[in-house]
Each structure stands twice: as C-alpha cells, then as structure tokens.
Amino acid sequence: MVELYGAFYAHDRTTATTYINDKIVVCVLENILTETEDVLVADGAHREVIDGRVAFQTKTEDEFTAAIELLTHRRVVALLSANQTTPRRGVRALLPRRRTDRRAWETVVDQQSLGAACGQ
C-alpha cells in the first residue's frame, strides 16, 4: 500500500500498519498528504484536499485492489476508503471473498501468526 501511494503521489513519507484476518484487510496510513496538500490544508482547503483524494481513490481502485488480491491470493469484493487532513491519516479497508476450504483458513491463520510474530 505504501509503495502504491508513493508511486501515485510521488512522495515517500507515508507509513502504514496493516491488519489482516479472514474477513477484512485494513491498512492504516499515516503522513499521507503531499507537500502541496499540506499547503492547501494550511490555507484552510481541507474539503478540496479530501475531494481530490476521493477522486484519486476512484481512479486507482483497480490498481489497489489488484495489489491486495496478489498479496492475499483472494478476490476483493469491496474497497472502502477514508481520509483525514488532521491528523494526516487514511484508511483502506478491503473485504475479500469468503474462503470455503479448510486449507485456505489455515493460510489466513498462518498470516495472522506471522503478523503477530512481527509485532503487527
């Protein structure tokens, strides 16, 4: 997610924490605003920045969805997004298609265990 934001917004200040379980992938992004957006927010143009973010998310939904599908090996059935200018954070929530076989569930459990082991 951070790599996609960096590529699309041309800045590398964004950091993220991602939570994954069988029903949802949630990515909390920090420091999401570009330098230009920071100036606009300082000038009171919060709504314009949010509107620009919504337009961006609509335009790039396929790229973000494809990245999550590649990483999770599951089809995404819904993508939800929210942004704040103060604090400068955003959230992407992706709802994957439900898994039906036991092996798939074990893969998710392994991902959760890995995340816990890495402090996420």
Beta carbons of 68 and 18 less than 8 angstroms apart: no
Specify the amino acid at residue 104. Answer: A
pLDDT of residue 100 exceeding 50, the answer is yes
* pLDDT tens, position by position, 9-24: 777 778 889 898 888 8
> At 56, is the pLDDT very low, low, confident or very high (cuts 50, 70, 90)?
confident
Give me the pLDDT at residue 97, please: 84
pLDDT of residue 104 exceeding 70, the answer is no
pTM of the entire predicted model: 0.72
